[in-house]
Structure formats: C-alpha cells, structure tokens
Structure 1
Amino acid sequence: MTIAYVWRGHFDNAAINALHAEGFGHAPMEDDLWAQVNRHSLGWVCAKENDELVGFVNVAWDGSVHAFVLDTMVAERFRRRGVGSELVAVAVGQARAAGCEWLHVDFDDDLKDFYFGSCGFRPTHAGLIAL
C-alpha cells in the first residue's frame, strides 16, 4: 500500500461526497466541497492510493492563529493502517508552517483514543452549543 499525502490536493466532488457518506454513515450528498474548502479553509490533506481518494482532512481557520481539524475521514478498507494519523500529522505541520499557534479538534467519545493517543492532541476545557 503506497499512499500519497497531498496538502491542498485536488479532489472531485463525487469522490469526496462518497468518502464523506462512508465515513459519517449517511447517504451521499451532492455538495460542492471543492468550492467550500477553497473559500473557507487554510488547507486540506488528501490521501490517495494511485488516483483514488482514500482519506481526507479539512483544516479551517480564523485567518490568524487558530486552525480547526474538520471531517477527518478514511475509506473503510484503509482504516487502522495509520492513514488517519498521517492525515492529521500533515495537517499539523502545515498549520504550524502557516503560523498558526493552535490546532483545535472536537470529536465523539469513540474517537478519543485516536485524537489523544495517535495524533497527540491533549484534553482541554471547551464549550458547545447545539444550534
């Protein structure tokens, strides 16, 4: 398995929407995620085997020192092989290179070991309002 990790790599909407549906357990959408990340994100990381998109993470930001990990996803057949942690590692490096001082992430409890154990995040106090 040879995976290439590409910062701000190209992806097509059909591929990312299918990966998002698989990763988050919903029906495929028809969102224009390419336009969305180009408008709002510091960057993103694509994991590709050959030309197939097998993983993705979005790095949103405030335009200054805070960046945010969103939508980390890995195709099921590539999970538990380090693809997700490498996606996040590239995101960390690129956010640092862009001058960000903080990289935030929020996640469901079942991903605690991944983000704290595999990716190096540490617990903090945070708040959330469901809208």
Structure 2
Amino acid sequence: MPIKMGSVRCAGALLGLLWLSGCNAGGAEEGLMESSTQEASSLSQASEGAAEPLVCICGATRYNLAANSLGFRCTQAEQRARLSLESQAAATCPTGYCNVVETFGPCVREPDGRYRGAVHWAISCCQ
C-alpha cells in the first residue's frame, strides 16, 4: 500500500502541537489542549487499519506487472487499472513495494464506446 506523504506531514505537525501543548510551551491554554486531543483522537480513528510507515530497503529484483481496464475515458480506464496493479503489487510484495516505474500502454476505443487502458508497473519489494 503506498504511503500518502501529505497525511504523514499533517500527523507530524499535529503530534508536534500536542507535544508543545503537553509541555505547556508557549502558554497553551486548556481549551487548545482539549481541541488538540480531540483532533488526535479523530486522526487515530481515521488511520486505523492503515499500514504504519516503515523503513523500506528496496530489493534488487524487479517485478513487471500489467493490468488493463475499461472506462468511459482513458484516464478512468487507467485509474481502474492502477487499482488492479496495487492489489497485484501487494500480493507480489507482502512487505511493501518501492521503486515503482509506471508506463502506459495503448488506450483504445472498444466497439461499445468505452475505452480500454493498459498500465504497466516495474517494482521492487521491500526487504
């Protein structure tokens, strides 16, 4: 599962705020600490079930994955193919994957008017 760096940055900023509030740095008032505690509780509930960020050392072996999917536009078809690739990558690399190189195959219009888009990933597994 890919790590969303924006969420990690927000969590770090929130934890820093909680630490400062807990130490009463800068004269944080009780209302701010209660608000911060509620936000931290919401953050932990929102991230339940998500993988914790771990250090990944990429292996040297490369794996080639491919998927295609249908959509009403090429971008939609390619996004659906990416979802399939995420599942394939997770099954190929249970400890996580890294060094993803994404390439696109042709996107062609099918007889029913939808588009078929192909996406290819070359990945390494975390060790």
TM-score normalised by length of structure 2:
0.24
Normalized per residue, which structure has more helix? Answer: 2
Q: Which has the higher contact order (CA 8 A, sep 6+)?
A: 2
